[in-house]
Amino acid sequence: MRLSVFTDELGLDVTQAVSVLRQWGIDTVDLRGLLYNRAVEALSDAQLGDLRRLLDDHGLRVGCIESSLAKVHLPDSARRAAEAAKLEGVIRAADALDCRLVRSFFFWQPPRDQVGILAVRPDEQQRVLDAFLPLAERARAAGLVLAFENCGVSHDDVLAMLRLLAVPEWGLAWDVANTWNCPEREADVTAFCRRLAAAARVVHVKARGCVPGQGMDLIPYDEVLQICDQAGLRGPVSVETHNPDPQASPADMSRKVVDALRAAWPSAAPGTAPRPKAPAVRRPWHDEPVGFAVVGLGMGHNRAKDIHTTSGTRLVGVCDLVEERARRTGEALDVPWTTDARRWLDDPAVEVVVVMTETGRHGEVAQAALEAGKHVITTKPMEASLAACDAMIRTAEERGLLLAVDFGRRFQDDLVSLKATLAAGAIGKLLSGSFELKILRDMDYFRGQGGWRGTRRWDGGGVLSNQSIHHIDEFAFAVGLPRRVRCCLRTQTHPIEAEDYGTAVWEYADGLMITFTSTTSYPQQTWFDRLELVGTAGAHFRVEGGPFEKPMERWFLQGAWTDQAPVRAQPEWRNAADNMAAALRSGAALTCTGRDGRRTQSILDAMYRSACDADGAWVDLAPELPQA
């Protein structure tokens, strides 16, 4: 998933637009019109060659060819022939520009009062299929990936057509604003977005619904994009501005959409799917908020947004070594930004530093913050080694400062309820359990941001350290720590230093056995995780991602399955920053202290010691801080 912009939405020919877009930090463009004053499908071979060189010279790639193919209602034979000729132009452009993704329509643009009937009328479906099938067959033979837009039609019309054509690679060009105001979305926004995101190959974003004051309530694009990321969208999120403000230039309005999307963009590691937000609360210390600075603005961008919107916390400033990322977050949240963390370590308004850098630099930044008298929250994993974790803990305790680890799942209803259910003995004594995480990471992911991911020094390892650590902590939090583990690692499909596959067995002191497996080589772009626990009086099952359109959680109790947890519990705090503020203002306990984070890290450490140093043999955990 990457940010792209229709070049013609700037109101400039492509020869002028490319320089502007590069100044904005854009590296992907969608092509439709104003290409040497022509539409993309009308370009000659010579012009296509010139366009390819122009894009290459500016470091731009094509995200989608935004054609108007078949955007006409049940045409006659002459018009169908003209559209067939247009398709040949699209194929030439796709070949010349190395882009197979093409926005298309399918000969259904009915009067407004007939929008939606295609989804429920087999007779109309057959008419449309008869007219469009020759183009579909030619496009498929040419290797195009067609994405049909919900423009002039409903999204259900598009989904019906996709079912009829039955080409798995094809999908929806989801214009979010076009059908946002519908009963389905109003009934359940998350289910609505999940259904369309699963079919989407490209997402279109207009100023309307994205930029304030443009004639439509704002769409929660942070949630929309997170769901798209979770669904495995690999195509572009494309700015199709449709400038509604005559007082603003097309370029200025397009820049506003770009900035809004950057502010809403999900973190690099999606984790589990979005869950319902806790209701807003006003903390007793709301008028005396705790000041935070965030260092590292990959995933830290989202943490900064959380602090910005949480009662009793105040985002004082943000920092990233990459100026573009620092500016993005600072401008989006209207706070000062720097590329040097020292600015915030010397600021008395900053009480807490949130460390969101590469894993292997958590200790370096945290130590500097602690030595400057700041409390610290570090993201997961706590660090790349237990020794670095121990150094942070000792410094914090010696200086009387708080150190917390941001395991966000500890602040979500379902995990808190699972912990309470197990503590109450509702499924009896635990006998066994299993966990699987299956996701896909390509080499662009590992090469990005300087190539630190998938290295032992800076990422702490591979899939177990980076993607699996939240789930390892789920067990540490809800079930407890195993006594010993054994583990096997493989690097199967990526030329990286660390593992892209890991499988382990955990043994608990009471005989409980857990199997734990993770991979970043799954063929689908998804976050597919499955947890099962078996007890003497029942069982628990949870799954999401992969083939499941929405998360599923079930309990086997008294001989039957139910979706109701035996014990319902609510987290006391909204997130780690909320918890830290409560600890500083009211003396509340931290949900995950530095020592708690170390205990989770000790499971990961033991798995790596088993696989790397003991040939997969059993290795005991060392969960507690050793004596100095």
Count other C-beta atoms under 10 Å from residue 182's C-beta.
14
Q: What is the CA radius of gyration of the chain?
A: 26
Contact 290, 583 (CB under 8 A): no
* pLDDT confidence tier of residue 279, bands split at 50, 70 and 90: low
| CATH 3.40.50.720 boundaries in the chain | 290-408+574-591
Tokens 């067939």 belong to residue: 84
Handedness of CA 31, 33, 38, 41 (dihedral sign): positive
Fold held by 413-562: Dihydrodipicolinate Reductase; domain 2 (3.30.360)
| CATH 3.20.20.150 boundaries in the chain | 2-264
CA distance 485 to 466: 19
pLDDT at 234 over 80: yes
CA dihedral of residues 95, 96, 98, 99 (deg, nearest 10): -70
Cα dist from 558 to 414, 424, 425, whole Å:
21, 16, 14
Q: Phi/psi class of residue 185: alpha, beta or left (left: φ > 0; alpha: ψ in -120 to 50)?
A: alpha
User: What burial class does residue 295 get, using C-beta atoms within 10 Å of its C-beta: 0-12 exposed, 13-18 middle, 19+ buried?
Assistant: buried
The whole-number pLDDT of residue 474 equals: 97
Handedness of CA 41, 42, 44, 48 (dihedral sign): negative
pLDDT at 454 over 70: yes
* pLDDT confidence tier of residue 220, bands split at 50, 70 and 90: very high
The whole-number pLDDT of residue 272 equals: 47
* pLDDT confidence tier of residue 582, bands split at 50, 70 and 90: very high
- For 3, the enclosing helix (H) or strand (E) is strand 2-6
Handedness of CA 346, 349, 352, 356 (dihedral sign): negative
Count other C-beta atoms under 10 Å from residue 275's C-beta.
12
Contact 443, 548 (CB under 8 A): no
The pTM for the full model equals 0.78
pLDDT at 268 over 80: no
The whole-number pLDDT of residue 271 equals: 46
**Token pair belonging to 52:** 């390819």
The whole-number pLDDT of residue 278 equals: 57
Grouping H, G, I as helix, E, B as strand and the rest as coil, residue 417 is helix
Q: What is the pLDDT of residues 11-45, one digit of tens each?
A: 999 999 999 999 999 999 999 999 999 999 999 99
Average pLDDT, stretch 579-600?
A: 98
What is the residue type of 130?
A: D
Which of 555-589 are b and which e, b meaning 16 or more Cβ less than 10 Å from the residue's Cβ? bbbeeeeeeebbeebebebbbbbbbbbbbbbeeee
The whole-number pLDDT of residue 264 equals: 87
CA distance 197 to 308: 27
Which CATH number describes the domain made up of 2-264? 3.20.20.150
* pLDDT confidence tier of residue 230, bands split at 50, 70 and 90: confident
The whole-number pLDDT of residue 277 equals: 56
Q: Phi/psi class of residue 467: alpha, beta or left (left: φ > 0; alpha: ψ in -120 to 50)?
A: alpha
CATH of 290-408+574-591 among 3.40.50.2300, 1.10.287.1260, 3.40.50.300, 3.40.50.720: 3.40.50.720
| CATH 3.30.360.10 boundaries in the chain | 413-562
Q: Phi/psi class of residue 88: alpha, beta or left (left: φ > 0; alpha: ψ in -120 to 50)?
A: alpha
Which has the minimum average pLDDT: 375-384, 430-439, 440-449? 440-449
Q: What is the pLDDT of residues 134-159, one digit of tens each?
A: 999 999 999 999 999 999 999 999 99
pLDDT at 375 over 90: yes
Average pLDDT, stretch 87-105?
A: 97
pLDDT at 197 over 50: yes
Contact 392, 359 (CB under 8 A): no
pLDDT at 193 over 90: yes
Residue 530: closest CA among 615, 436, 404: 436
